[in-house]
Structure 1
Amino acid sequence: MEFTSVEGEQRYAALVRAAATCVVGLDFDGTLSPIVDDPAQAHIHPDASDVLVDLATQVQAIAVVTGRPARQALALGGLEEVGNAIGDAGKELYLFGQYGNERWSSTNRRVISPRPPHGLATFLRELPRILRQADAADAHIEDKGLAVAVHTRRLPDPRGAFERLLPLVREQARRHELTVEPGRNVIEVRSPGMHKGVVVETLVRELEPGALLFAGDDLGDVEAFEAVATLREQGLPTLLVCASSEEESSLESRADVVVKGPEGVLDLLRQLTVDARDLRA
């Protein structure tokens, strides 16, 4: 792992000292799961389950916070089984799907979900026309129930199609009072008022942790990073981790630690587990 400053090293050391009361928040795609062309095949890194279960013995709780539907993340991550093992250690695994609109935990094993946002069905019907207008008719449309995601990754010019689509999607979403969340060659449209920063605030309010780590990889994690930065200003020990890639590096300037993709995130979590265990020995 690469600290971005001396302060980053100091924040890591403070987090290790407070590990027993630390909540660890983790994005899914690009952070726990490698980015792939087909989002339905984005399985969690094969080492992640063991790393998370081991980490849970040293921290207060772990929360996976994703734009994916909760049930999809549960399946792709094998998170029910991970939750069982974490529960056996006397700890809890939380999953917040669709940017926090859905919630599941290893104690309450049902997905709590609101109704789809008003206007989303109309937006979805209008979307093929917008794709044709942007010369991106073959973009993959993913209906998440509470959101719609448009993936340009499999197009001949993914970035160009993304940049043509984004202003058109923003304008159409605005007409339906929906919010737009751009990511790595994906544009997501969903209801306003919920984002990963709200999830961070919820975790702090409900769990009252003594420290907080959040790891993410793209623009969908900005609000979480901002919420953590606010908690830092209030005196809470925190650590911000960027899982960087050649495609996306927007979080690097905000992070305390920069690592390379999911493997780098898991290496950091392994190190945190070892350092916390050694300190308590």
Structure 2
Amino acid sequence: MPEQTPHVDETAAPGLDTALADLAGSGTLLVALDFDGTLAPFADDPGQVGALPGSWAAVLTLQRAARTEVVLVSGRPLDSLARVSHAPDDMSLVGSHGVEWRVDGHDEAALTDDERARVARIGAALDAVGERFPGVVIEHKPAGHGVHTRRVSAEVAAQANAAASQAAHDADPQVLERGGKDIVEFAVRHVTKGDAIARLRELRRADSVLFAGDDVTDEDAFRVLGAGDVGVKVGPGDTVAGYRVADPAALTDVLKQLARLRATR
């Protein structure tokens, strides 16, 4: 029986089939992907997530295709991203929204002494908030901290987020606050995924870019995409992306289709 060709649901993402075909024919292609909520469904324990098998198989196929590079671009710390993704050593990773890099000779993670001191002050203030709200998890990252509220009610989450915001800004008036799905993050470097995508495009001299992401922080990346690029929003929520799919499982079909087209060009 002949193998069936993956097909994107045009009802959910009209025109995406054509956009992927055009993208597959480009010269140098950068495929940049968020991880949590995009390649991997969410889990209460962030350490226990994993990419959907079909999506990961397509990612590895794309990674092997000529003139194609896959980069995972995540809000996770770099070591956490490497651990949960099981990415091969030759796959580029960008963590902490663009602060940390594992990209061919462009590794970056070091903070200044002043930045490290700021991170420590903010972390201590947020730890005190976490003690007041059982179920709220404070995640410490190299350039900031995340306040996770997935395990608590909406009412408790709102209270905890307000308290965390007050505490973080009292500890460091210059802190960058950004919200996401069941998380509010407080960082000392004003770097976005949009900055990361723009820099990756330049480093790799990419002719076209595919970026897929699900969260508010991914909108920065969608905004830097240009003509000939493809942005895919995963799940609900306002977006400037050109296309949308329902969930990570639906993105699997998108990645399979692009991998097939790119591998046979």
1:184 is matched with which residue?
Answer: 181
Aligned-residue offset at 1:23:
0.4
The yes-or-no answer on 1:65 pairing with 2:73 is yes
* CA–CA separation in structure 2 for the residues paired with 1:166 and 1:211: 38
The yes-or-no answer on 1:114 pairing with 2:81 is no
Secondary structure of 2:249's counterpart equals: helix
Provide the TM-score with structure 1 as the length reference: 0.79
Residue deviations 1:170-216 (CA, integer Å, cap 9, x gap):
33333411111211111111123211011011012211211111000
Aligned-residue offset at 1:217:
0.4
Aligned-residue offset at 1:270:
0.6
The counterpart of 1:166, out of the listed 161, 165, 175, is 161
Provide the TM-score with structure 2 as the length reference: 0.84
The counterpart of 1:266, out of the listed 210, 229, 252, is 252
1:88 is matched with which residue?
Answer: none
**Correspondence list, 1:64-213, <5 A:** 64-80=72-88, 83=90, 93-105=91-103, 107-108=104-105, 112-115=108-111, 117-131=116-130, 136-155=133-152, 157=153, 159-175=154-170, 176=172, 177-213=174-210
1:221 is matched with which residue?
Answer: 218
* CA–CA separation in structure 2 for the residues paired with 1:266 and 1:238: 19
* CA–CA separation in structure 2 for the residues paired with 1:206 and 1:250: 31
The yes-or-no answer on 1:254 pairing with 2:254 is no
* Cα distance change on mapping 1:5 and 1:37 into 2, 3 Å: closer
Greater RCO between the two (CA within 8 Å, min separation 6)?
A: 2
* CA–CA separation in structure 2 for the residues paired with 1:17 and 1:36: 36
* CA–CA separation in structure 1 for the residues paired with 2:161 and 2:189: 17
Residue deviations 1:47-100 (CA, integer Å, cap 9, x gap):
34321121121552111001111111111111136x3xxxxxxxxx21001111
* CA–CA separation in structure 2 for the residues paired with 1:24 and 1:154: 32
**RMSD (Å) for aligned C-alpha atoms:** 2.4
When the two structures are aligned, how many residues end up with a matched partner?
251
Structure 1 or 2: larger helix share? Answer: 1
Residue deviations 1:156-179 (CA, integer Å, cap 9, x gap):
x1x333333334333333341111
Structure 2 gap segments, 5+ residues each: 1-7
* CA–CA separation in structure 1 for the residues paired with 2:66 and 2:156: 44
* Cα distance change on mapping 1:169 and 1:52 into 2, 3 Å: same
- Whether the 8 Å contact between 1:71 and 1:111 is mirrored in structure 2 is no
* Cα distance change on mapping 1:170 and 1:46 into 2, 3 Å: same
* Cα distance change on mapping 1:5 and 1:69 into 2, 3 Å: closer
